[in-house]
A = this chain, B = another copy of it.
């Protein structure tokens, strides 16, 4: 038998089809990656090839020597443009806005090989701090309605560039799924007097079946109505609608939890393609009590087919309980993880 579960934040229904299920450990054999080079002379993100990208907008110098630790450059083929004014055109049902905004690439390290889960913890702290700073800078533009920070790892997750990088897109509109989520959260507050995200986190902690990592500031868990196998949420315990409000001390723990989770997926699921995204409130509603930012990791282990496209309902073949148990059991054995999570998991 199967079960439909409803995501309390989006009101999405997901079919948990246990009888169609692969066992979690069957996923480990799907992907097989090649050896990675530390430097690739054809890679536009490698040191020495800085001229292959548009002029950088942010550079964090290396701790030692002349090089850099991290760069932000405009996307060479941007989807949205800073120099463009967001003029709105409404002609009956044909509605459009000029492509104003920003589309940037965050090059996370000079080392070409440190992609996916391999970026060291210290670099990840720098990356997360950069996310927050750039998020705040881009949000200052009065035309920006929402900033999305995301990472694509692997061809199945939509990137052809291997060098460790993430992206930022600042948009002049609020998307309809984000607005729907925001509206549902508002309704939930009006009905229950509580942030639906805070309540979800408490319910997950109470149930204690889908927790992957239970930290002081952040909790990683497989949500009850996860729409795809091993989809993972990392929630801050403290209520904040906007990612821009996260504190330095919190970012350090987030780096640890994210590192840990990505490494468990890398090791347990054999370096799957994945995306992660920071889900945050629309910029102009950043102080609200009913929305709550979080980070979502989506390993790309399943295909979206006609049913999902047509019905808007997803079929998940791995129960989140099983996925959480599987991830909890994956051992962290890398030397660069030494003492990082001592006693926390």
Contact = CB atoms under 8 A, between A and B. Distances in A.
A298 interface: yes
Nearest to A166: B306
Given A176-B312, A196-B93, A305-B150, A79 B171 contact: no
A5 interface: yes
A157 interface: yes
Interface residues of A, number: 78
A172 interface: yes
Nearest to A280: B310
A313 to B, nearest CB: 4
Interface string A162-180: 0000010101110111111
How many of these chains are in the complex? 2
Contacts of A94: 5, 8, 203, 207, 224
Interface in A179-219: 179-180, 196, 199-200, 203, 207
A298 B175 CA distance: 21
Contacts of A196: 93
26 contacts: A1-B81, A2-B80, A4-B98, A4-B99, A4-B171, A6-B95, A13-B171, A16-B99, A19-B78, A92-B203, A94-B203, A148-B307, A148-B313, A150-B307, A150-B310, A150-B311, A152-B305, A157-B306, A167-B307, A169-B307, A169-B311, A176-B180, A276-B306, A296-B309, A298-B306, A304-B304
